[in-house]
Structure formats: C-alpha cells, structure tokens
Amino acid sequence: MTTSDGQTPEMTEEHIDRLKENLEKVEALSKRLVEVMAGKKGHTSALDGPNQELFAKAATAYWADAWQNPAKLLEQQIEFWGKSVLNFAEAQQALTTGEVEDDDNAPKDRRFSNPMWETNPYFRFIRQQYQTNAQAIEQAVASVDDLDQKDLQRLRYFSQQIIDMMAPTNFLATNPDALERAVETEGQSLIKGLENLVSDLEANDGELVVKLADETAFQVGGNIATTPGDVVFRNQMMELIQYKPATEMVHETPIVLFPPWINKFYILDLKAQNSLIKWVTEQGYTIFVVSWVNADSSHADIGLEDYIEEGYLTAISEVKKICNVKQINAVGYCIAGTTLSLTLSLMKKRGDKSIKSATFFTTLTDFGEQGEFTPFLQNDFVNGIEEQVNRDGILKAWIIGRTMSFLRSTDLIYTPAIRSYMMGETPPAFDLLFWNGDGANLPGRMAMQYLRGLCQSNDFVSDGFKMLGHKLHIKDVDVPLMAITCETDHIAAWKDCYRGVQQMGSRSKTFVVSESGHIAGIVNPPSKKKYGHYINPDMKADAETWLKEADFHEGSWWPLWEAWLKKRSGKQVPAREAGDSEHPSLGPAPGTYVLVKASR
C-alpha cells in the first residue's frame, strides 16, 4: 500500500488494534448473514446454469477432435505450459531483484488499472496467469466445431461467464484496491461492505441482487417522474395518465404511449432535462401514457390477450372518448411495441381503424435470430422458468433483472459488487440505475406465452400467433409506421428489428437507427446534442447494405419523429385539460401503480 506521495505509511500498534477491533464486528454481521441465508426461499436450479448436456457435448466434441488431431491439442497445451512457466519465472526474478520489467504486450483491461497489477510481483503474476488461463479457455472453446450454431453460441457465452467470474479482482485476497482500502480504513471498508452484502441479501430473501443505485436519493413523483398530469382511468391492468398541456393549442390527434411492463414507464420521464413525455407536451401534443400493474400471484392467469383487451384496446377506446376523436397515434417501446404489433394485426382482422400511425421503439417482432438472448431461450432455461412460474404464479423481477445483468456481467454485477462489498462504498445516486433496479414482476401465463410462442416458436412471422379467435401475423400490420432502433442495442438488436419491419404490410415505413444502446439511444433529448442517427428510405436491401447506404444526421431523432408525427396529427385545437365529466382525475401523475414494488 502507498500514500498519495508514493510513500508506504507506518502501521503503528494503534492502527493494528483498531483494525482488529473493526474485524471483530464481522462476527455480528456473520450471524445476520447466516440467518438470512437460512431463510432463503430458493428457486429451481435450472435458472442458475445451462443443462449439463451442453458441456458434455462440448467435451465430447473437444476430445473427439483431439483424438483426430492430437498435434493441435499438444500445441495448445505446450503454449499454455510455456506461458505459465514464463509467468512464474518472471515473478521469481522480480522477487529476487526487486525490479519489474514493463509488460507492453499486456491486454488493456480497466479491471487492472491499479499500478500494483504491473509493479508488484505478486499481483503481476496473478494478473498474467489469469489472462493466460482465460486465453487457454477461449482457445479450447474456439477449437470446438462439432456442435450446432446455437450450442456453440451458448458454449462461448457460458465459458466467458466463467472467465469473468474467476477474475482476481472478484476476490479480496487478490484485489489490491480492496486490500489498500481495508488497510487505509483500518478494516472499516470491509465492515461496511459486509453490511451492504447482508442488506442486499435481506432485501431479496437471500437472493444476491447487487444494488446498483442509492435508493434513498430518489422518490418517484418527488424528484423523478415529475411531469404534471392526472390518472384519468384505471382497471386491473393499467392506469391511464393524461399529461397536462404545455401549449395553448395542440394537435387534434392524441398520442397513446405504451411502455414495456418489464420495467416502469418513468424511464421516459426521469427528469425534466431528458423527459420524452415532457418534450412531447412542449411540441403541442396531447399525450397519454399507460402505467402497467406490477403483477403479483393474483395475476398468474393473465395473458397477452388481457394486455391487448384491457390494456391496449381499452386505453385507445378511453382516449378516443376523452378527446372526442376517431383515431389516435400509438407508440410502443420494447415488448410493448411487440404487443402493439399483435394489437394492430387483431384490429386489422376486426376492421378497427382506430390507430392512425404506429411508432415502435426498439421493437422485436421476428425472433428468428435471438441474438445475445440465445443462451437463455433454449429449452433447459425456459423449462426452468416455467417450473419457477408454476411455483410462484409470476416471473419475478429479480430473475428478469439478473438475466439482463448477466449480458453485461462485468459492468452490472462484478464491478458494482466489488465497489459495494469489498470497498464498502455506497451505490451512486444515479437515476437511470435507480430505475433499472425498480423492476416489475410478469404474470406467469403472459411470460410463458411470450417465451414459447414468440421467442421460441416465432409464430408471429411464421404460421401466425393464435389469440382471441384469430391467427395474428406480422403482414397484417399495415398502418403508417416509424421504427426507432439503436446501433449498440444488445436487447433488441437493430438488425433483428429491421428484419421484422421489412415484413410488415405497411406501405409507409420509416426506419431509423440511433447511435448508442437500448436506453440512451431512445432517451436522447435534442438539447444534449449527443447521439446522431441514420436514415435510409430504401428498405429492400439487407440490414448491412441499408446502414452502408444510409445518411447520417447529427443530433437526436426526436425532431425527425415529431415532423413525421405532425403530418399525421390533424389540425390545431385548444389544449385539453385532463379527463372529462366521465373521466375525473383519480389522482396526480405518476399514479399509484408505478409506486408498487416488485414482490420477492
């Protein structure tokens, strides 16, 4: 350990005594830890890893290849042995001479930014050997070729998870940052870290869900989700919020925005500076937003048809009554965009022309390519989810959140865990991460319809998705539409979204690729002047060609969307107050449903 001036501090007897004193506090915390783990409810083991058949098939393929081509195996092993011996020899030399040579060929990895990973022989050896081991695993996986494409993709994913999990930064004895902090704070950082760990476990009935944000820093309806409005309708599925006008005149055709019910709607209203909802009112539109119910076990039998009938169709009907119009403009985000597509198909079958235009934010409709979710959409995992759903009646928010986090495990699991549990830091006061942790449960029946019928069977673009007496098909989506996708989106990859939009029956299609990812690419206010976007009216080509030939525009896509929407929003009328005589205010925005926390 070194101080800011590069000197090693003197560890006095007084320091050592205080360190021992702090570490004695571990006993009380350990008792709490044992108690919370003893009360852990548990869950089906299928949610924790792939069926062992995957690894058995991979091992069989690997050894079959080695038998046929032993020279390749020997070459890999000799390379691994050679690097391991060299790492050890360099460490021995450094310990003997006290000098460490610069390692210019070391892979750049921000986990190893502490200078001790380079200058201290012990940590340098650990870092080098970890990277050598990781490379050996990657080479072994890359040499397996006698598996189908999905199994290969899963093998690569889960082997990378093992590599990330075994990083030396994840363990106190091999994390110089954590050790330095422990000495500097006389062990207080470890006490605080253990308190954080026990608190997170207690908050989740023994399940380890790393808290990403300081929850005490935010209040929904207090300092986030503050755009003024009123709840004007409520049923078992949703609250319908009408936002107050910000202009004296508004466009006649209102907007109804359907957010995903996997998370809560206020991602679009975090704060005034980046609120899409607030910005829409300022452009002269009447906007309604659906706030979905946070499911509990009483909602176990609710399916996608209930979301369509009591959510989409009811919201559209009530907005038409309130605004005295025949048509509305609809917006769907993520899974809500997928379900908006199903709703449009159903309305086509029924001859209902209530939707004038549709906008899709990061929406998948063709699940033929499952992207980064491939590891979790095979039968072993989906069967495990179904078993857990049958037990609980719902798909719990922590399961969904954990799955999403493991797609970016270093950033969303290990790094926050290190800061909280080893360094003893309080999670940051970051509104986006607060929202990310404020999850929602899914009704069991709906979750399985989505996973089986849409994600696995891809019925909507193949034989048709059976629902409400009809076979719903993507070609039935024929209203004018705009699809906003995001270039680095790992949840709804833009190329997969593009393929779905290509198959829709609309004659008028506008497709946009925003820079950045699933959230930042959508929550991208013009005032920030941050992320640009791509446009190309020709959607006949494949996705790669579309992007290559697209025009890039600086800045947010929001003004582009508003100009497109204006042409489909009718004449100007006096601004509308919330509700009417048959729709009195049931309370101010953001309503009550959004305040319900997900059950554990």
- Residue 442 phi, psi dihedral angles, 5° rounding: -110, 140
Please name which of 349, 356, 264 lies closest in space to residue 319, comparing C-alpha atoms: 356
- Among 317, 310, 314, 307, smallest CA distance to 337 is for 307
Phi and psi torsions of 497, nearest 5°:
-60, -40
Q: Which of 309, 307, 273 is nearest to 293 (CA)?
A: 307
Active site residue 323: no
Our measurement of the distance from residue 65's CA atom to the centroid of its chain's CA atoms, rounded to an integer in Å, reads 38
b/e code 10-36 from CB counts within 10 Å (16+ = b) = eeeeeeeeebeebeeeeeebeebbeeb
Q: Any bridge partners for residue 481, and if so which?
A: 358, 509
Cβ-based burial of 264 (10 A; exposed 0-12, middle 13-18, buried ≥19): buried
Supply 26's token pair.
């571990």
Q: Is 246 exposed, middle or buried (0-12, 13-18, 19+ CB in 10 A)?
A: middle
Residue type, 21: E
Residues 6+ apart with CB under 8 A from 489: 362, 517, 518, 521
Element (H, E) at 229: strand 229-234
Out of 323, 334, 486, 497, the active site residue is 334
Nearest Cα neighbor of 331 from 284, 272, 268 is: 268
CA angle 474, 478, 484 (to 5 degrees): 75
Over its C-alpha atoms, the chain yields an Rg (Å, rounded) of 27
Amino acid at 384: G
Q: How far apart are CA 88 and CA 97, in angstroms?
A: 14
Of 592, 591, 593, nearest to 227 (Cα)? 591
Active-site positions read 334
